[in-house]
Amino acid sequence: MIECRQISKTFDHVPVLEQIDLQIEENKVFAMLGTNGAGKSTLLRVMTGIYRADGGVVTIDGEPVADNPGAKEKFFFIPDDLYFFPNANCREMATYYATIYRNFDKQRYFEFLRKFGLDESRRINTFSKGMKRQAALLAGICAGTKYLFCDETFDGLDPVMRQGIKALFAGEMDRREFTPIVTSHNLRELEDVFDHVGILHKGGILLSRDLDDMKESIRKVQCVYGTEEDRVKAESGLQILRHDVRGSLHMYTLRGTETDIRNTFGCVDTVFCETRPLTLEEIFISETEVAGYDVKALILD
């Protein structure tokens, strides 16, 4: 398990992370989402010991990460801004990785490179952005570490390659202890791969929950009421996060289980009523709007 306790980080007197408390359970794909400038990349760098926290502590399996080579052997970190040695090829990088990670599987890495159409002897600086990302992700999987940190995980990958990497994640989790911690601005590409989500906003954690629990506790409802009195009665029993009206059609984003919501609407007269779960993108928008990150405020007349 990875634990962040009261993590704070400031740059040039500007707070970037404030009192972050977070737990990442083993053998689950953890997705770290956040608004622009929320501190996702900074938190990853604190969790991996690249940055030293100004306050608080990060532990991996009970060991503090800062200045602890033993803890750092347990993870492989893939940053947003990928780095490889100048003029190096994948074979040379694999030799280097094997000196850092005792379980790095060079043979398996070369097999993956061939399957993904990457030439192990070609200089990596001649690769496209997506090819570099593939090479880094495959190295991370073959490092044999318990944890894999990926910042902007699928950036530059085409749809086929994204599915290939997701399949490798799933396969790796089946065969050994393996916990990917991923970030991405493209929420749709993460929805079918992760188990738990943490949402950051303005340097703090808005929520950290299993995806299934989150989807069960927030719903979208569209309805047309029989009378105005029915609307007032229904809304008095709802926890409304968002309410839009188009003519007689009322569109709600509601917190609560589907059973509770159906029971509330079952007590009033409706001409039409439909409920459905939200997508991850809709959940993200709803939760950040509650925190004041409202897209309507960003649109100028």
Q: In one letter, which amino acid is 132?
A: K
Mean pLDDT for 120-146 is: 96
Q: In one letter, which amino acid is 112?
A: F
> What local confidence, expressed as pLDDT, does residue 48 receive?
95
b/e per residue 138-147 (b: at least 16 CB within 10 A): bbbbbbbbbb
Domain annotation for the chain: domains and CATH numbers: 2-212 (3.40.50.300), 217-298 (3.30.70)
Asked whether the predicted pLDDT for residue 299 surpasses 50, the reply is: no
Asked whether the predicted pLDDT for residue 223 surpasses 80, the reply is: yes
Question: Band of the pLDDT at 103, cuts 50, 70, 90?
Answer: very high
Mean pLDDT for 126-135 is: 96
pTM of the model: 0.82
Report the range of poorest mean pLDDT among 69-78, 82-91, 158-167, 264-273. 158-167
Closest-CA residue to 138 (of 124, 44, 126, 31): 124
Distance CA 149, CA 179 (A): 9
Mean pLDDT for 263-274 is: 94
Q: Where are the beta strands (DSSP E) in the chain?
A: 2-11, 14-24, 30-34, 55-60, 63-64, 75-78, 147-150, 179-183, 196-201, 204-210, 218-225, 239-246, 249-255, 270-277
Report the range of poorest mean pLDDT among 7-21, 197-211, 217-231. 197-211
Asked whether the predicted pLDDT for residue 140 surpasses 70, the reply is: yes
Question: Band of the pLDDT at 294, cuts 50, 70, 90?
Answer: low
Distance CA 202, CA 38 (A): 5
**How do residues 13-42 score in pLDDT, each as one tens digit?**
999 999 999 999 999 999 888 777 888 999
Closest-CA residue to 125 (of 86, 92, 99, 151): 86
Asked whether the predicted pLDDT for residue 296 surpasses 70, the reply is: no
Closest-CA residue to 132 (of 183, 78, 184, 181): 78
Closest-CA residue to 276 (of 254, 243, 294, 250): 254
Report the range of poorest mean pLDDT among 174-178, 202-206, 278-282, 295-299. 295-299
Distance CA 182, CA 194 (A): 9
